[in-house]
Amino acid sequence: MEISVIASGSNGNCCLVEDRDASVLIDAGKSGREIESRLSSLGKSMEDVDAVLLTHSHSDHVSGAGVLSRRYSIPVYMTRQVFAEASARLRKIDARHFSLKKSFRIKDMKIRPVPTSHNVSSCGFVIKKLGVFTDTGTVTDEMKKVMPGLSTVLLESNHDIDMVIKGPYPYFLKNWILSDIGHLSNIHACGFIQEHGKNLSLALLGHLSGNNNTPEMATKTFEALVKRKFDFRVCSREKASGSWNIDGSKRR
Ligand SMILES: [Zn+2]
Ligand SMILES: [Zn+2]
Protein backbone atom coordinates (compact mmCIF):
# COMPACT_ATOMS: atom_id res chain seq x y z
CA MET A 1 0.00 0.00 0.00
CA GLU A 2 1.16 3.50 -0.75
CA ILE A 3 0.29 7.05 0.32
CA SER A 4 0.91 10.07 -1.92
CA VAL A 5 0.56 13.49 -0.36
CA ILE A 6 -0.94 15.71 -3.06
CA ALA A 7 -1.62 18.83 -0.96
CA SER A 8 -1.27 19.53 2.73
CA GLY A 9 -1.76 22.80 4.57
CA SER A 10 -4.41 25.25 5.65
CA ASN A 11 -4.55 26.19 1.93
CA GLY A 12 -5.79 22.77 0.78
CA ASN A 13 -5.54 19.07 1.60
CA CYS A 14 -5.60 15.90 -0.46
CA CYS A 15 -3.83 12.55 -0.33
CA LEU A 16 -4.07 9.41 -2.40
CA VAL A 17 -4.03 5.96 -0.79
CA GLU A 18 -3.50 3.04 -3.17
CA ASP A 19 -3.67 -0.64 -2.43
CA ARG A 20 -3.96 -3.72 -4.63
CA ASP A 21 -7.72 -3.64 -4.31
CA ALA A 22 -8.68 0.02 -4.34
CA SER A 23 -7.48 3.63 -4.55
CA VAL A 24 -9.04 6.46 -2.60
CA LEU A 25 -8.49 10.18 -2.28
CA ILE A 26 -8.73 11.43 1.28
CA ASP A 27 -10.07 14.99 0.98
CA ALA A 28 -10.00 17.09 -2.17
CA GLY A 29 -9.36 20.62 -0.94
CA LYS A 30 -7.89 22.09 -4.13
CA SER A 31 -9.50 22.69 -7.50
CA GLY A 32 -10.08 19.60 -9.63
CA ARG A 33 -7.48 20.82 -12.17
CA GLU A 34 -4.86 21.41 -9.49
CA ILE A 35 -5.38 17.95 -8.00
CA GLU A 36 -5.16 16.33 -11.45
CA SER A 37 -1.96 18.19 -12.24
CA ARG A 38 -0.31 17.37 -8.88
CA LEU A 39 -1.30 13.70 -9.23
CA SER A 40 0.31 13.60 -12.63
CA SER A 41 3.51 15.19 -11.21
CA LEU A 42 3.80 11.95 -9.17
CA GLY A 43 2.86 9.72 -12.11
CA LYS A 44 -0.67 9.17 -10.71
CA SER A 45 -4.06 9.67 -12.30
CA MET A 46 -7.65 10.29 -11.23
CA GLU A 47 -8.63 7.50 -13.65
CA ASP A 48 -7.47 4.96 -11.07
CA VAL A 49 -9.32 6.51 -8.12
CA ASP A 50 -12.37 4.61 -6.85
CA ALA A 51 -13.76 7.13 -4.34
CA VAL A 52 -13.18 10.36 -2.43
CA LEU A 53 -13.41 10.29 1.38
CA LEU A 54 -14.05 13.49 3.30
CA THR A 55 -12.75 14.15 6.82
CA HIS A 56 -15.03 17.18 7.36
CA SER A 57 -16.83 19.99 5.59
CA HIS A 58 -14.25 22.83 5.58
CA SER A 59 -13.40 24.13 2.12
CA ASP A 60 -9.67 23.31 2.38
CA HIS A 61 -10.80 19.65 2.36
CA VAL A 62 -13.84 19.75 0.09
CA SER A 63 -13.46 22.38 -2.65
CA GLY A 64 -12.53 20.03 -5.54
CA ALA A 65 -14.56 16.99 -4.46
CA GLY A 66 -17.76 17.82 -6.36
CA VAL A 67 -15.98 18.50 -9.66
CA LEU A 68 -13.85 15.34 -9.44
CA SER A 69 -16.83 13.20 -8.45
CA ARG A 70 -18.76 14.34 -11.54
CA ARG A 71 -15.80 14.32 -13.93
CA TYR A 72 -14.74 10.74 -13.07
CA SER A 73 -18.14 9.35 -11.99
CA ILE A 74 -16.88 8.36 -8.55
CA PRO A 75 -18.72 8.47 -5.22
CA VAL A 76 -17.89 10.77 -2.30
CA TYR A 77 -18.02 9.16 1.16
CA MET A 78 -18.77 11.28 4.22
CA THR A 79 -20.95 11.28 7.31
CA ARG A 80 -24.53 12.51 6.98
CA GLN A 81 -23.64 15.55 9.09
CA VAL A 82 -20.74 16.50 6.81
CA PHE A 83 -23.03 16.10 3.80
CA ALA A 84 -25.60 18.41 5.41
CA GLU A 85 -22.89 21.08 5.83
CA ALA A 86 -21.10 20.63 2.50
CA SER A 87 -23.91 19.74 0.10
CA ALA A 88 -24.23 23.27 -1.33
CA ARG A 89 -20.52 23.28 -2.19
CA LEU A 90 -20.49 19.69 -3.47
CA ARG A 91 -23.60 20.17 -5.62
CA LYS A 92 -24.88 17.13 -7.51
CA ILE A 93 -22.73 14.12 -6.61
CA ASP A 94 -22.96 10.44 -5.87
CA ALA A 95 -22.94 10.84 -2.06
CA ARG A 96 -22.39 7.83 0.19
CA HIS A 97 -22.55 7.92 3.95
CA PHE A 98 -20.62 6.23 6.70
CA SER A 99 -20.97 6.26 10.47
CA LEU A 100 -18.08 7.28 12.72
CA LYS A 101 -18.75 4.18 14.78
CA LYS A 102 -18.26 1.60 12.03
CA SER A 103 -15.60 0.59 9.52
CA PHE A 104 -16.66 0.41 5.88
CA ARG A 105 -15.23 -0.96 2.66
CA ILE A 106 -14.45 0.40 -0.77
CA LYS A 107 -13.97 -2.73 -2.85
CA ASP A 108 -11.74 -4.79 -0.53
CA MET A 109 -10.13 -1.81 1.20
CA LYS A 110 -11.24 -1.59 4.83
CA ILE A 111 -11.51 1.96 6.15
CA ARG A 112 -11.91 2.82 9.79
CA PRO A 113 -13.12 6.34 10.62
CA VAL A 114 -11.47 7.78 13.74
CA PRO A 115 -13.26 10.76 15.35
CA THR A 116 -11.22 13.96 15.66
CA SER A 117 -12.04 17.08 17.66
CA HIS A 118 -12.60 19.92 15.19
CA ASN A 119 -15.91 20.36 13.43
CA VAL A 120 -19.29 18.68 13.10
CA SER A 121 -18.63 14.96 12.81
CA SER A 122 -14.97 15.42 11.77
CA CYS A 123 -12.73 12.34 11.53
CA GLY A 124 -9.47 10.88 10.37
CA PHE A 125 -9.06 7.46 8.78
CA VAL A 126 -7.08 4.29 9.44
CA ILE A 127 -6.38 1.98 6.48
CA LYS A 128 -4.26 -1.04 7.42
CA LYS A 129 -1.23 0.45 9.24
CA LEU A 130 -1.71 3.97 7.91
CA GLY A 131 -3.42 6.75 9.85
CA VAL A 132 -4.45 10.12 8.42
CA PHE A 133 -5.29 12.67 11.12
CA THR A 134 -5.53 16.34 10.26
CA ASP A 135 -7.66 19.10 11.75
CA THR A 136 -8.05 18.23 15.39
CA GLY A 137 -7.78 20.63 18.32
CA THR A 138 -6.77 17.86 20.64
CA VAL A 139 -5.69 14.22 20.43
CA THR A 140 -8.88 12.20 20.90
CA ASP A 141 -9.14 8.95 22.86
CA GLU A 142 -9.88 7.14 19.60
CA MET A 143 -6.66 8.49 18.03
CA LYS A 144 -4.69 7.30 21.09
CA LYS A 145 -6.27 3.89 20.80
CA VAL A 146 -5.31 3.27 17.15
CA MET A 147 -1.88 4.95 17.11
CA PRO A 148 0.18 2.05 18.57
CA GLY A 149 -0.95 -0.14 15.65
CA LEU A 150 0.26 2.28 12.96
CA SER A 151 3.52 2.25 11.01
CA THR A 152 2.85 5.47 9.08
CA VAL A 153 0.88 8.55 9.98
CA LEU A 154 -0.03 11.75 8.17
CA LEU A 155 -0.50 13.99 11.18
CA GLU A 156 -1.42 17.62 11.55
CA SER A 157 1.40 19.81 12.88
CA ASN A 158 -0.43 23.05 12.25
CA HIS A 159 1.22 25.79 14.27
CA ASP A 160 3.80 26.96 16.70
CA ILE A 161 1.87 28.13 19.77
CA ASP A 162 4.04 31.24 20.28
CA MET A 163 3.62 32.28 16.65
CA VAL A 164 -0.17 32.12 17.05
CA ILE A 165 -0.12 34.14 20.28
CA LYS A 166 2.25 36.82 18.92
CA GLY A 167 0.88 36.78 15.38
CA PRO A 168 -1.53 39.10 13.55
CA TYR A 169 -4.75 37.07 13.83
CA PRO A 170 -7.73 38.56 15.69
CA TYR A 171 -8.27 37.36 19.24
CA PHE A 172 -11.25 35.13 18.49
CA LEU A 173 -9.36 33.33 15.71
CA LYS A 174 -6.29 32.77 17.90
CA ASN A 175 -8.55 31.35 20.59
CA TRP A 176 -10.23 28.99 18.14
CA ILE A 177 -6.93 27.72 16.65
CA LEU A 178 -5.57 27.00 20.13
CA SER A 179 -8.84 25.49 21.42
CA ASP A 180 -9.81 21.84 21.69
CA ILE A 181 -11.78 22.16 18.45
CA GLY A 182 -9.07 24.04 16.53
CA HIS A 183 -5.78 22.66 15.23
CA LEU A 184 -2.92 20.55 16.58
CA SER A 185 0.33 22.40 17.37
CA ASN A 186 3.85 21.16 16.62
CA ILE A 187 4.40 20.37 20.26
CA HIS A 188 1.14 18.45 20.65
CA ALA A 189 1.79 16.44 17.48
CA CYS A 190 5.22 15.60 18.91
CA GLY A 191 3.80 14.55 22.26
CA PHE A 192 1.23 12.31 20.60
CA ILE A 193 3.87 10.51 18.55
CA GLN A 194 6.29 10.29 21.45
CA GLU A 195 3.71 8.75 23.75
CA HIS A 196 1.58 6.60 21.45
CA GLY A 197 3.50 6.02 18.21
CA LYS A 198 5.24 2.91 19.52
CA ASN A 199 5.48 1.17 16.14
CA LEU A 200 5.75 4.20 13.92
CA SER A 201 8.42 4.20 11.23
CA LEU A 202 7.33 7.30 9.28
CA ALA A 203 5.51 10.49 10.27
CA LEU A 204 4.37 12.87 7.55
CA LEU A 205 3.73 16.22 9.22
CA GLY A 206 0.99 18.10 7.46
CA HIS A 207 -1.60 20.86 7.45
CA LEU A 208 1.02 23.49 8.31
CA SER A 209 -0.30 27.01 8.72
CA GLY A 210 1.12 29.60 6.33
CA ASN A 211 1.11 32.32 9.01
CA ASN A 212 1.72 30.47 12.25
CA ASN A 213 4.32 27.86 11.34
CA THR A 214 7.28 27.14 9.10
CA PRO A 215 8.74 23.80 7.98
CA GLU A 216 11.86 24.77 9.96
CA MET A 217 9.89 25.34 13.19
CA ALA A 218 8.08 22.00 12.85
CA THR A 219 11.37 20.23 12.12
CA LYS A 220 13.13 21.88 15.05
CA THR A 221 10.36 20.91 17.47
CA PHE A 222 10.39 17.29 16.32
CA GLU A 223 14.17 16.98 16.37
CA ALA A 224 14.32 18.38 19.89
CA LEU A 225 11.44 16.48 21.41
CA VAL A 226 11.01 13.10 19.77
CA LYS A 227 13.77 10.84 20.99
CA ARG A 228 12.68 7.63 19.32
CA LYS A 229 14.12 6.75 15.89
CA PHE A 230 11.77 7.13 12.97
CA ASP A 231 11.64 9.08 9.74
CA PHE A 232 9.67 12.23 9.54
CA ARG A 233 8.96 14.54 6.67
CA VAL A 234 7.29 17.96 6.64
CA CYS A 235 4.72 18.06 3.82
CA SER A 236 4.73 20.94 1.34
CA ARG A 237 1.93 23.51 1.18
CA GLU A 238 2.85 24.40 -2.42
CA LYS A 239 3.27 21.12 -4.31
CA ALA A 240 2.82 17.35 -4.10
CA SER A 241 5.19 16.05 -1.42
CA GLY A 242 5.79 12.52 -2.74
CA SER A 243 4.77 8.88 -2.37
CA TRP A 244 5.64 6.46 0.41
CA ASN A 245 5.23 2.74 0.70
CA ILE A 246 3.36 1.67 3.84
CA ASP A 247 3.81 -2.09 4.05
CA GLY A 248 7.56 -2.34 3.67
CA SER A 249 8.26 1.22 4.84
CA LYS A 250 10.49 1.57 1.76
CA ARG A 251 10.62 5.17 0.58
CA ARG A 252 10.42 6.28 -3.00
ZN1 LIG B 1 -8.12 21.96 7.26
ZN1 LIG C 1 -10.94 22.13 9.18
- Tens of pLDDT, residues 203-225: 999 999 999 999 999 999 998 88
d(C-alpha 116, C-alpha 135), whole Å = 7
Residue ranges of the domains in the chain?
Answer: 2-245
Pick out the chain residues at pLDDT < 70. 248-252
CB 249 within 8 A of CB 151: yes
Q: Is the pTM of this model over 0.85?
A: yes
Strand partners, 175: none
Give which of 119, 147, 148 is closest to 59, Cα–Cα: 119
Percent share of the chain, pLDDT over 70: 98
Instruction: Please give the distance, rounded to the nearest whole angstrom, from the Cα atom of residue 136 to the centre of ligand 1.
Output: 9
151 CA to centre of own chain = 16
Q: What pLDDT is attached to residue 86?
A: 97
Instruction: Please give the distance, rounded to the nearest whole angstrom, from the Cα atom of residue 14 to the centre of ligand 1.
Output: 10
Instruction: Please give the distance, rounded to the nearest whole angstrom, from the Cα atom of residue 135 to the centre of ligand 2.
Output: 5
Q: What pLDDT is attached to residue 77?
A: 98
101 burial type by CB count under 10 A (0-12 exposed, 13-18 middle, 19+ buried): exposed
CATH topology classification for 2-245: Metallo-beta-lactamase; Chain A (3.60.15)
E-state strands within the chain: 2-7, 14-18, 23-26, 51-53, 76-78, 95-97, 104-106, 109-115, 123-127, 130-133, 152-156, 202-206, 231-234, 242-245
d(C-alpha 134, C-alpha 132), whole Å = 7
Instruction: Please give the distance, rounded to the nearest whole angstrom, from the Cα atom of residue 248 to the centre of ligand 2.
Output: 31
Ligand nearest to the CA of 10: 1
Rounded-to-5 percentages of helix, strand, coil across the chain:
30, 25, 40
